[in-house]
Chains A and B, each alone.
Chain A
Amino acid sequence: MLVMRHELLLIAITVILLLIEIFLPAGKKHRIIFPSIFLLGLVTVINFFPIPTGELFGGMYVSTALTVTMKNILNIGTFIIFIQSVSWLKKEENKEKISEFYLLILSTLIGMDYMISSGDFMMFYLGLELATIPIAALAAFERYKEKSAEAGVKLIFTSALSSGILLYGISMIYGTTGSVYFTDVKAAFEATPLQILAFIFFFAGLAFKIAIVPFHLWIADVYEGAPINVTAYLSVISKGAAVFILMIILFTVFSKIAIIWRDVLYVMSIITMTIGNLFAIRQRNIKRFLAFSSIAQAGFILLGMIGQSQLGMTTVVYFILIYIFSNLGAFGVAGIISNVTGKETIDDYDGFYRTNPLLSLTMMLALFSLAGIPPVAGFFGKFFLFAAAAQKGFYILVFIAVLNTIISLYYYLLVIKAMFLNTSDQPIAYFRSDNYTRVGLILCITGIVVIGFASPVYEFILNLSHGIY
């Protein structure tokens, strides 16, 4: 049973937190904050210790060294989000719902872990749903706000639709191969037209979760409406998990039709990064802005999968790790500004550096990392992604992608311009951020600065991905 340590530990702390929640008196709900963060931190650390790998339930659950690392990455990200949400949760209107936030996030995390470790389509689907439905509740967390409620409804409808399409694809796969197990499906796959259609349906369903263009339309409204910490969770952890499982399934189950999905990914990645970038330029709301930037990032991630190589697989995992730190850094700063002042548009950031230099510098580092500017980690991630595509000779694609990073640099610079270059009559006044936020941001900055230079991180992931692709 130790093979399932990630999931079991998460379930355990969920139960513990539920018990604590029951015994907390009505006005003292905020006392759940510290145990939640502490327990998740503990679990994150424990899970770094060696763990046996193998299969459970007759192959429904598969754990490899690589999936263990993927789950660890998600744990780290969730841990940072737990810390960053504190200042928002402590606000008057959220005080009674603090434990709900933590419990719902934990249950989605359990879903994602099961999804990543799935060995058949049933387990995959169960994990996916467990990872999706609670997020809709989280998106509607600030239900007294119209936009938040709208975000929740939109999210649940689009996920239901995408799940439907996905299931349709899975049913066709089952109908043509006679099995839902990944290994059996892979062996029986013959690339008949119906199976290719099944693949397309399956891919479309998952593309909804990752927000690949043209399946991205829900994302801006949901990101804008949802509370900023939930948005961060959606754009980083939820997306990361979906990318992981998409990569695993493409590389294993559908490896026979690589020639087909390679073309699909080629076109999709160009469209996704271009549309994401072009729309991001126009955004004034920081949450919508980060939403479109995260669409563009998804386009870049696809670049790593196209080669179907070990280099690509490693880099995608590595990139997600960096992306977690960078994006959470950006969301962390945007979140604390929104909590303290309620301001969420980029124009409000005018002259921010003169009043809050440290937060501005954090934001700048995070945005540079997202844009892929050295010496921060994002540069290394992007460079290796491009290398993974170039390895298979896709130089034109790489060139388009690099040009896209220039576009992305433009709009990231717009935020930096507002903070550093512009002056304002009424800049956001100086404020002290609370200690939880600080710890969260320091973690992000450490990640952003260190991961690129520390080549052992990359080599570690590389060694795990032997033989999976």
Chain B
Amino acid sequence: MDILTLFIVIPVITMIGIMLVRDTKQVKIISAVGMSLQLINAAILITMFLMQRHAGNTSEILFAKDVVWYQSLNIHYYIGVDGVSVAMIGLTSIVIFAGIFASWEVKDLSKEFFVSLILLSTGVFGFFISLDLFTMFLFYEVAVIPMYLLIGIWGSGPRHYSAMKLTLMLMGGSAFILVGLLGLYFNSNPAGGQLTFDLIKISKVHIPLNVQMFFFPFLFLGFGVLGALFPFHTWSPDGHASAPTAVSMLHAGVLMKLGGYGCYRVAVFLLPDGAHHLGWIFLILTTISVIYGAFGAIWQKDLKYINAYSSVSHCGLVLFAILMFNQTAINGAIIQMISHGIMTALFFALIGMIYGRTHTRFINEMGGLMKVMPFLAVAYVIAGLASLGLPGFSGFVAEMTIFVGAFQHPDVFHRVVTIIACSSIVVTAVYVLRVVGMLLLGKIRNDHFLEIKDAKWHERLSVGVLIFGITAIGLAPLWLSDMINNGLTPIITRLLAAVQ
């Protein structure tokens, strides 16, 4: 069995294992072992990938495997990775690993919880390794649907409403995607002959301009819904606020990246002319996302809402950078996805841990937590600083690259949107520092807080892994951006051809 298929096989075996045992403790141990294996597997994959590249293997896709599935429709189980997908797989395995430990305390229906969580991650892994649009779409939906149960059963607040809203909006997005994919399929061979869902093959043909103009909005909007593109971001605050900790982590950390990755890999890569002609509409929308999310976060009092709006802003930046169509900006977009994925997972993990101790998520009811739980508080400060883009953390690398790339466009329109988007950095600093001040510093407002204990071992593990990820990227971004850069060459070539 090849290494990529293992990314699907390991979670499936883990799920079967969980279903076979009865005891909650065993369920947790099996999940932890399974996801640790997944993390190790990801590490092996990254090493093997870098070694292959060092050895001079320049082929577009590595570790490819192609099995015919539906012969008449030319649907394949076709998997393979380039630098970008390897990075995304690494992100996913870190976040799901941390997520398992962050949800160590789930008691009610714990078996079902871990099965759904791991099923969700299976969909995400499958999505990132697929190169066949049909299997890609299949995994996309597999990743979305367990959210309904995860939020609906184990969530808090108006969880039934949020779960339904989130599921229906994301499935609405997939409606757009489905039409777009069928459009790609039936235009995948303009010369006549066998049609294909093969992403790489489609990227080699030239699809007529009017077809591209028709289907690009479908694909970009469809994936954009999952990437919290304004005005389709409304599922995100409600969904994140109601979801249990690990689900928020996975959802903001990984699932929203499916949207960005889809926009990049499918919409822009396969329909570059359409992207070139219609990109400006979406550029305006993403700029609004960036600014709106940042200002939205200022007004919130609930920690989860703050972070959900900040995710809208940061994910908006990903789509914004993708639409800049140059190597630097898109490289920044990918780093931003990784960086925001780990950072926001850390945020949600910490919020969950704080909420588990204080039983409130409203910042004006808390204060002085630094004194009672120093470990969690320091971790929160680190996450906050990474979020506002302090050098030394991953957020700085990502945003810097994005804005340098965006500024390369000399025309007025791009300059204006870039400057507007840049200003979000300042707004981010405002809400992050404000929250840190109210939450962690100052007086302790509630005597009950004095009895709070600091993090337990599984929480320290979960938080530690994520902080390691942020700082590793922040201090040594080169290996990551090198790895990504190689993968970007085909898309940049196509985009340049489209511009001319």
Q: Is the CB of B175 within 8 A of A403?
A: yes
Q: Is the CB of B178 within 8 A of A402?
A: yes
The one of B145, B172, B214 that contacts A403, using a Cβ cutoff of 8 Å: B172
Query: Which of B65-73, B274-282, B348-356 lies at the binding interface?
Result: B65-73
Q: Is the CB of B138 within 8 A of A374?
A: yes
Q: Which residues of B contact A201 (CB under 8 A)?
A: none
Query: Which of A20-28, A73-81, A410-418 lies at the binding interface?
Result: A410-418
The one of A374, A399, A420, A462 that contacts B72, using a Cβ cutoff of 8 Å: A462
Q: Is the CB of B164 within 8 A of A458?
A: no
Given the known inter-chain contacts A368-B145, A406-B172, A459-B70, please indicate yes or no for A417 contacting B152, CB distance below 8 A: yes
CA A417 to CA B148, docked complex, whole Å: 9
26 A-B residue contacts at CB 8 Å?
A311-B73, A373-B141, A374-B139, A375-B138, A375-B142, A379-B138, A386-B182, A387-B182, A390-B182, A391-B186, A398-B178, A399-B176, A399-B179, A402-B175, A402-B178, A403-B175, A409-B168, A410-B164, A413-B164, A413-B167, A420-B149, A421-B159, A455-B69, A455-B75, A458-B70, A462-B72
Given the known inter-chain contacts A391-B186, A416-B148, A417-B160, please indicate yes or no for A384 contacting B168, CB distance below 8 A: no
Q: Tell me if A431 counts as interface (CB < 8 A to partner B).
A: no
CA A406 to CA B173, docked complex, whole Å: 10
Q: Is the CB of A420 within 8 A of B171?
A: no
Within 8 A of B (CB), among A355-403: 368, 373-375, 379, 383-384, 386-387, 390-391, 393, 395, 398-399, 402-403
Q: Tell me if A293 counts as interface (CB < 8 A to partner B).
A: no
B146-187 vs A, Cβ < 8 Å mask (1 yes, 0 no): 001100110000011001100110011001101100110110
Closest chain B CB from A347 CB (angstroms): 14
The one of A398, A410, A421 that contacts B182, using a Cβ cutoff of 8 Å: A398
Which of the four size classes fits the interface of chain A?
A: 20 to 34
CA A375 to CA B137, docked complex, whole Å: 11
Given the known inter-chain contacts A374-B141, A409-B167, A459-B72, please indicate yes or no for A402 contacting B148, CB distance below 8 A: no
Given the known inter-chain contacts A374-B141, A399-B179, please indicate yes or no for A384 contacting B149, CB distance below 8 A: no
Q: Is the CB of A395 within 8 A of B73?
A: no
Given the known inter-chain contacts A420-B149, A455-B70, A458-B72, please indicate yes or no for A409 contacting B171, CB distance below 8 A: yes
Q: Is the CB of B171 within 8 A of A406?
A: yes
Give me the interface of A with B, judged by CB distance under 8 Å.
311, 368, 373-375, 379, 383-384, 386-387, 390-391, 393, 395, 398-399, 402-403, 405-406, 409-410, 413, 416-417, 420-421, 455, 458-459, 462
**Closest B residue, CB atoms, query A375:** B142
Closest chain A CB from B206 CB (angstroms): 20
CA A399 to CA B214, docked complex, whole Å: 13
The one of B73, B153, B178 that contacts A420, using a Cβ cutoff of 8 Å: B153
Q: 14 more A-B contacts (CB under 8 A) besides A373-B145, A416-B149, A459-B72?
A: A311-B73, A368-B145, A387-B185, A390-B179, A395-B179, A399-B175, A406-B171, A406-B175, A413-B148, A413-B167, A417-B152, A421-B153, A421-B159, A455-B71
The one of B72, B139, B175 that contacts A405, using a Cβ cutoff of 8 Å: B175
**Among B139, B159, B171: residue with most chain A CB under 10 A:** B171
Q: Which residues of B contact A402 (CB under 8 A)?
A: 175, 178-179
Q: Which residues of A contact B179 (CB under 8 A)?
A: 390, 395, 398-399, 402
Closest chain B CB from A358 CB (angstroms): 12
Closest chain B CB from A136 CB (angstroms): 39
Q: Is the CB of B182 within 8 A of A420?
A: no
The one of B72, B164, B172, B183 that contacts A390, using a Cβ cutoff of 8 Å: B183
Q: Is the CB of B138 within 8 A of A421?
A: no
CA A420 to CA B171, docked complex, whole Å: 20
Closest chain A CB from B247 CB (angstroms): 14
Q: Which residues of A contact B163 (CB under 8 A)?
A: 421
Within 8 A of A (CB), among B202-230: 214
Q: Is the CB of A386 within 8 A of B178?
A: yes
Q: Is the CB of B152 within 8 A of A387?
A: no
Q: Which residues of B contact A462 (CB under 8 A)?
A: 72
Q: Which residues of A contact B71 (CB under 8 A)?
A: 455, 459
Q: Which residues of B contact A416 (CB under 8 A)?
A: 148-149
Q: Which residues of A contact B159 (CB under 8 A)?
A: 421
**Closest B residue, CB atoms, query A364:** B149
CA A402 to CA B134, docked complex, whole Å: 16
Closest chain A CB from B443 CB (angstroms): 40
**Among B153, B160, B179: residue with most chain A CB under 10 A:** B179
Q: Is the CB of B153 within 8 A of A384?
A: no
Closest chain A CB from B68 CB (angstroms): 8
CA A393 to CA B141, docked complex, whole Å: 24
Q: Which residues of B contact A373 (CB under 8 A)?
A: 141, 145
**Closest A residue, CB atoms, query B108:** A354
Closest chain B CB from A182 CB (angstroms): 27
Q: Is the CB of B175 within 8 A of A421?
A: no
Q: Which residues of B contact A405 (CB under 8 A)?
A: 171, 175
Closest chain B CB from A145 CB (angstroms): 35
Q: Is the CB of B141 within 8 A of A379?
A: yes
Nearest 6 A/B pairs, CB to CB: A402-B175, A390-B182, A421-B152, A374-B138, A455-B70, A374-B141
